[in-house]
């Protein structure tokens, strides 16, 4: 009980920090979300091109868990937990570049997010 009361202000503080951090990008691309379907052991579309500030959301439609992780050797921009059926993972891409990724459970599953000003 005592512990819980102390955790609450922390949660609020963290949420506030997250809001402030996301602030500047929100004005660039308000609700731009691009969805990648994880289905039949593949990412679809396999390659996407988005503007900086776009949120990319992966949704697992398979009956087995998948992950989304930056290609080994690349900067770790993408890193989801195991996604069960219908689970989602979403991140915003701010920097321009080509971000390759794969499923750590099935490494043959690969994809690329190209982030470029359009």
- The secondary structure of residue 39, as a DSSP letter, is E
Nearer to Cu ion, 109 or 115 (CB): 109
Q: Is 91 in the site for Cu ion (CB under 5 A)?
A: no
Nearer to Cu ion, 77 or 103 (CB): 103
CA dihedral (57, 58, 59, 63) in degrees, to 10, reads -170
Q: Is 103 in the site for Cu ion (CB under 5 A)?
A: yes
CB of 83 to Cu ion, least distance (A): 9
Q: What is the DSSP string of 42-89?
A: EEESSEEEE-TTEEEEEEE-SSS-B--EEPTTS----B---B-TT-EE
Nearer to Cu ion, 94 or 104 (CB): 104
Distances (CA, A) of 50 to 27, 39, 58: 16, 21, 14
Q: Is 105 in the site for Cu ion (CB under 5 A)?
A: yes
CB of 88 to Cu ion, least distance (A): 15
> Rounded distance, CA 62 to CA 66, Å?
8
For residues 64-83, which are near Cu ion according to CB under 5 A?
66
Nearer to Cu ion, 61 or 116 (CB): 61
Q: Is 106 in the site for Cu ion (CB under 5 A)?
A: yes
**Which residues bind to Cu ion, rule: CB under 5 A?**
66, 103, 105-106, 109
């Amino acid at each position: 009980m005592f512990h819980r009361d102390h955790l609450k202000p922390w949660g609020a503080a963290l949420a506030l920090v997250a809001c402030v951090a996301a602030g500047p990008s929100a004005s660039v691309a308000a609700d731009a979300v691009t969805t990648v379907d994880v289905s039949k052991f593949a990412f679809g579309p396999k390659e996407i091109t988005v503007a900086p500030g776009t949120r990319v959301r992966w949704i697992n439609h398979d009956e087995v868990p998948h992950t989304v992780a930056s290609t080994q050797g690349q900067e770790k921009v993408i890193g989801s937990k195991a996604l069960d059926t219908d689970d989602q993972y979403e991140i915003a891409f701010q920097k321009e570049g080509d971000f390759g990724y794969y499923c750590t459970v099935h490494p043959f599953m690969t994809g690329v997010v190209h982030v470029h000003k359009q």
